[in-house]
Chain A
Amino acid sequence: MNVETPVEALKPNDYASDQEVRWCPGCGDYAIIKGVHRTLAELQIPLEKLVFFSGIGCAARFPYYMASYGFHTIHGRAPALATGAKLANPDLDIWVVMGDGDALSIGGNHTMHAIRRNVDLNLLLFNNEIYGLTKGQYSPTSQLGTRSPSTPQGSIDAPLTPLSLALGANARFVARTFDTNQKHMPGVLKAAHAHKGASLVEIIQNCIVYNDGAFDGWTDKKVVSDNSIMVEHGKPLIFGADENKGIAMAEDGFGIRVVTIGEDGITEDDVLVHDEQNKMLAMMLADMKQPEFPVALGVLFNNPAKAYDEAVHEQLAEVKEKTPAGTVNEMLRKGRTWTVSEGA
């Protein structure tokens, strides 16, 4: 019998580099990197196969703190670089770390198209609703009225909802979690990793310096059960500290509403069951906002289609089979040529 020597299992810490982490003490990024280390250890991804791309911003320092391959690129462009790398070597396990300004403002175009093409990338969007690295300006996800150095009277342009945008771009996988929710995060990240194609995970992240407490209204331990909902495929959309609230169809059939089980004749049967392949439901869940609704967490949509990189390589293989390459000299001599002989 052949006994395989077990390779020593990688521990969460093995995914951390030897570089000193330089986020502000108390920054949500610390929790996120911990969650990522744990997830990678659970998946046992070999370090040499793993690549982290990032753009610019606090979140973008992430690759330097990983023991894997990493590329800290330029503002907003990480999805484009990652797309090239994935097409060049589909065996790589590629993760892209982006901030909200990075992914949705300067890099909005690249985020949208990486999602639309369905490139097999794990896109982690750290959303803290502020620009941290450049010292606190409002971002495209900042709530209306956000006071910042560039909006001293309060911001007056409406924020966008990242997961709604992604679904609008035909995302095949969108999920949401938050920094301190360490129980929840690895499961979401593992689902994103298992999904072949572009997987967008919005990770709500507290910026302790410039936007502290922006999400306390629904992430704080005291309120999280009442003001957020963990969605799970095949399970009823029930939430609340007493587990008596649910998401049901609106009475007119257009949209959804929050109901209380046991009130107004509502029973558990009236509560919708989460179906991660239902795009309409995903769009409604993605758009749920405080205070009317709980914020939806978990895998909101997961409906795989062929990954772009896979399709590209299939086409390449097909062409190679149909038209074998030959040498460069043969390439140069294909088509019409003529020969001039000596003394002609």
Chain B
Amino acid sequence: MATNVASSGDGNRKALDSVVIRFAGDSGDGMQLTGTQFTQSTALMGNDLATFPDFPAEIRAPAGTTFGVSAFQINFASYDIQTPGDDPDVLVAMNPAALKVHLKDVPKGGTIILNVDAFTDRNIARAGYEENPLEDGTLDNHVVIAIEINKLTNAAVAECDVTSKEATRCKNFWALGLMCWMYNRDRQPTVDWVNQRFGKLPNIAAANIAALNAGHAYGETVELPSGVEAYLVPKADVQPGTYRAVTGTEAVAWGLVAGAKKAGLEIFLGSYPITPASALLHTLTGLKQYGVTTFQAEDEIAAVCSAIGAAYAGSLGITSSSGPGIALKTEAIGLALVTELPLVVVNVQRGGPSTGLPTKTEQSDLFQAVYGRNADTPLPVVASRTAGDCFETAIEAVRLATKYMTPVILLTDGFLANSAEPWEIPDADAIADFPVKFRTDPEGFHPYLRDEKTLARNWAIPGTPGLMHRIGGIEKDYDSGHISYDSDNHHRMTKVRAAKIDGIADDIPAQDVATGEHRGELAVVGWGSTFGAINQAVGRCVKDGLSVSHIHLRHIHPFPKNLDDLLSGFEKVMVPEMNNGQLVHVLRDKFLVDAESITQITGQPFKVSTLEREIRSRVEG
């Protein structure tokens, strides 16, 4: 919510401590780009921020339809924030469909900036309005700024050598310019970006910059309706350090590269295009110079199989996908598990089942990660909580995969992958190395010789003289590594595979409490991208003196050793998840704890207010 803190000395700007803006328009209107540029600028101004890109599955849905609306929300503040914000203070709606879809989220008194040029009879009808919403009282409870953005943009770029179609396409930069004025954002980062992006098309670059500047100038000169002013949002008081904006996709890619360096391995990524995981393939492909080979396979199965083949040959095998693709990889993950080869499987979760909601976020693949394979096939599961956290979890996934010779599943989701946050860049040198030692000594070698402590089998790679051996999907003899159909041996091997993974519990940090006390009335247990919303909701309740704590799991399998004890210190356990209840069942199963499930399967992240309400209804004030 926009809180008025004080009038400031910066011109006549009014200082706010936080703002939520939502840009919405047609998929072709460039809303994601507008949001990203505004985010860059905001990050560089020193605000804390969180974003939520929300776009349709269709690349270019028919123009003007509600299902073709693409939106980008940013929450920025002068204090520490953790979510993209519940409801927008300002909605920028580039057409009637965008208004139709997003109006319900704008609270009374909220500001709506409209491109009236898009409110033609045809577009109004297409959006499903019977009357023009600008005229029938629909917007009576809001502060409306209706601007002829197309016309003003066309005028602004008249001098640039562009076609009228190209001119109109600059309208998102006009809107961005206006918002930059309204919230005192620096335009230079956007100008730099435009010049770089359109270096070979100087006329297009000039037009976009002209539109940006015109939008800004419009704010400076035109009298806006009462209630709308120029604002400033002071810098957030953050930890000293070097920062950058980061998305979960980038952080996973960098974490995998950093992890591979720590292990002393080259990376091989086998992947197949799928929303919302493709961006990881693209990002890693851009990092070839760090010893990254990427391979776009013919299908999901070949993607994981090629990664296993590469792991066998001595690389760090990685495969990335989303739920449906992970399902296809399942048999091969079993092969990596039984041959005990290091493999990192990144699942950027999306709404399911089947094709489901490809561009919407969900965390419904926890069962799949923990249980979703034939036979007794335990493997480590690690989950990221924020975009920046993806860096650390990716390194952790590499560490576990190589140290324990096992496939590891790293769970992120569409929200984490696409959303950006300011990230204090860590010092990679401060993270301990975990170098891999390939077996070279033929003395006493067999392929299933195990490390006494970790139970990991020794890793001997083709090309090593004297260590020729055969591995495969058939059960192997514990003592020789040869094929074995012996029943007692199979029992023993199944147990040892499980013990190896269980043992990881001794090698991960004890579960901490993110907010609140270590004992109390209610523990809110979460995992994954719900971190920000839960933490903020719990934080507010704690401030009000409620006995509630937030516990957020990174290690889903195995759990940290102290989790059982920790949970038993609370009278009630509540588990909010963006699925129909999954972690809650694993907790009940493991600890016989009477955990209660809170579910939301809307394809949207939790709102802080929703969780706060749920908490307050369970804890006495």
A163 CB, nearest partner CB in chain B, Å? 20
Q: Is B309 an interface residue (CB 8 A)?
A: yes
| A88 x B309 contact (CB < 8 A) | yes
Q: Is A67 an interface residue (CB 8 A)?
A: yes
> Which residue of A17, A85, A335, A338 is within 8 Å of B309 (Cβ)?
A85
Q: Which of A25-33, A46-54, A284-292 contacts B (4 or more CB under 8 A)?
A: A46-54
**A binding-site residues for B, Cβ under 8 Å:** 17, 19, 46-49, 51, 53, 56, 63-64, 66-74, 77, 80-89, 91-92, 109-110, 112-113, 312, 315-316, 319-320, 323-325, 327-329, 331-333, 335-344
Q: Mark B230-245, 1 if CB is under 8 A from A, else 0.
A: 0000010011111111
A59 CB, nearest partner CB in chain B, Å? 13
Query: B305's closest neighbor in chain A, by CB?
Result: A80
Query: B304's closest neighbor in chain A, by CB?
Result: A80
| B43 x A344 contact (CB < 8 A) | no
| B287 x A331 contact (CB < 8 A) | yes
Query: B236's closest neighbor in chain A, by CB?
Result: A340
Chain B residues 317 to 359 lying within 8 A of chain A, measured CB to CB, are 317, 331-332, 335, 339
Most B C-beta atoms less than 10 A away, residue of A80, A113, A333 = A80
| A80 proximity list for chain B (CB < 8 A) | 297-298, 301-302, 305-306, 309
> Which residue of B241, B257, B306, B472 is within 8 Å of A331 (Cβ)?
B257
A280 CB, nearest partner CB in chain B, Å? 27
| A338 x B243 contact (CB < 8 A) | yes
Q: Which of B9-17, B137-145, B362-370, B460-468 contacts A (4 or more CB under 8 A)?
A: B460-468
Provided the pairs A51-B462, A85-B313, A331-B290 are in contact, do residues A77 and B332 lie with their beta carbons within 8 angstroms? yes
Q: Mark B30-66, 1 if CB is under 8 A from A, else 0.
A: 0000000000100110100000000000000000000
- Nearest first, the 10 closest Cβ-Cβ pairs linking A and B are A72-B472, A84-B309, A84-B306, A81-B309, A80-B305, A70-B470, A80-B302, A88-B310, A84-B310, A88-B313
Query: B466's closest neighbor in chain A, by CB?
Result: A48
| A70 proximity list for chain B (CB < 8 A) | 469-472
A342 CB, nearest partner CB in chain B, Å? 5
Q: Mark B412-429, 1 if CB is under 8 A from A, else 0.
A: 000000000000011111
B213 CB, nearest partner CB in chain A, Å? 21
**B binding-site residues for A, Cβ under 8 Å:** 40, 43-44, 46, 189, 235, 238-245, 254, 257-258, 261, 266, 268, 270, 287-291, 293, 295, 297-299, 301-302, 305-315, 317, 331-332, 335, 339, 425-429, 461-474, 482-483
> Which residue of B331, B465, B472 is within 8 Å of A71 (Cβ)?
B472
| A328 x B257 contact (CB < 8 A) | yes
A–B pairs, 27, beta carbons within 8 Å: A19-B483, A48-B462, A48-B468, A49-B463, A69-B470, A73-B472, A80-B305, A86-B309, A87-B306, A92-B313, A315-B288, A320-B289, A325-B289, A328-B290, A329-B429, A332-B254, A333-B242, A333-B425, A336-B43, A337-B244, A337-B425, A338-B44, A338-B242, A338-B244, A339-B242, A340-B239, A340-B243
| B469 x A109 contact (CB < 8 A) | no
Provided the pairs A81-B309, A88-B315 are in contact, do residues A338 and B472 lie with their beta carbons within 8 angstroms? no
Provided the pairs A331-B257, A342-B240 are in contact, do residues A17 and B470 lie with their beta carbons within 8 angstroms? yes
Q: A88-B266, A110-B301, A340-B243 are in contact. List 5 more A-B contacts (CB 8 A).
A: A69-B470, A84-B270, A84-B311, A338-B244, A344-B240
| A336 proximity list for chain B (CB < 8 A) | 40, 43-44, 189, 244-245
| B463 x A89 contact (CB < 8 A) | yes
| B302 x A53 contact (CB < 8 A) | no
| A68 proximity list for chain B (CB < 8 A) | 468
Q: How distant is the Cα of A64 from the Cα of B481 in the complex, in angstroms?
A: 11
| A88 proximity list for chain B (CB < 8 A) | 266, 268, 293, 309-311, 313-315
B107 CB, nearest partner CB in chain A, Å? 32
Provided the pairs A74-B332, A84-B317, A109-B299 are in contact, do residues A64 and B470 lie with their beta carbons within 8 angstroms? yes
| A328 x B297 contact (CB < 8 A) | no
Query: A19's closest neighbor in chain B, by CB?
Result: B482
| A84 x B298 contact (CB < 8 A) | no
Provided the pairs A329-B427, A332-B426, A336-B40 are in contact, do residues A323 and B331 lie with their beta carbons within 8 angstroms? no
Q: How distant is the Cα of A53 from the Cα of B308 in the complex, in angstroms?
A: 12
Query: A319's closest neighbor in chain B, by CB?
Result: B288
Q: How distant is the Cα of A162 from the Cα of B72 in the complex, in angstroms?
A: 52
Query: A322's closest neighbor in chain B, by CB?
Result: B289
> Which residue of A71, A112, A316, A343 is within 8 Å of B293 (Cβ)?
A316
Q: How distant is the Cα of A333 from the Cα of B483 in the complex, in angstroms?
A: 49
| A332 proximity list for chain B (CB < 8 A) | 244, 254, 425-426, 428
| B428 x A84 contact (CB < 8 A) | no
Q: How distant is the Cα of A320 from the Cα of B288 in the complex, in angstroms?
A: 7
Provided the pairs A325-B291, A336-B189, A342-B240 are in contact, do residues A73 and B301 lie with their beta carbons within 8 angstroms? no
| B429 proximity list for chain A (CB < 8 A) | 327-329
| A67 x B297 contact (CB < 8 A) | no
| B469 proximity list for chain A (CB < 8 A) | 69-70
| A63 x B308 contact (CB < 8 A) | no
| A87 proximity list for chain B (CB < 8 A) | 268, 293, 295, 306, 310
| B309 x A110 contact (CB < 8 A) | no
A62 CB, nearest partner CB in chain B, Å? 10
B556 CB, nearest partner CB in chain A, Å? 26
B440 CB, nearest partner CB in chain A, Å? 11
| B268 proximity list for chain A (CB < 8 A) | 84, 87-88
Provided the pairs A92-B462, A325-B290, A338-B243 are in contact, do residues A83 and B306 lie with their beta carbons within 8 angstroms? yes
Most A C-beta atoms less than 10 A away, residue of B258, B268, B305 = B305
| A81 proximity list for chain B (CB < 8 A) | 305-306, 308-309, 312
> Which residue of A67, A84, A109, A319 is within 8 Å of B308 (Cβ)?
A84
| B339 proximity list for chain A (CB < 8 A) | 71
Q: How distant is the Cα of A145 from the Cα of B261 in the complex, in angstroms?
A: 58
| B288 x A92 contact (CB < 8 A) | no
Most B C-beta atoms less than 10 A away, residue of A336, A341, A343 = A336
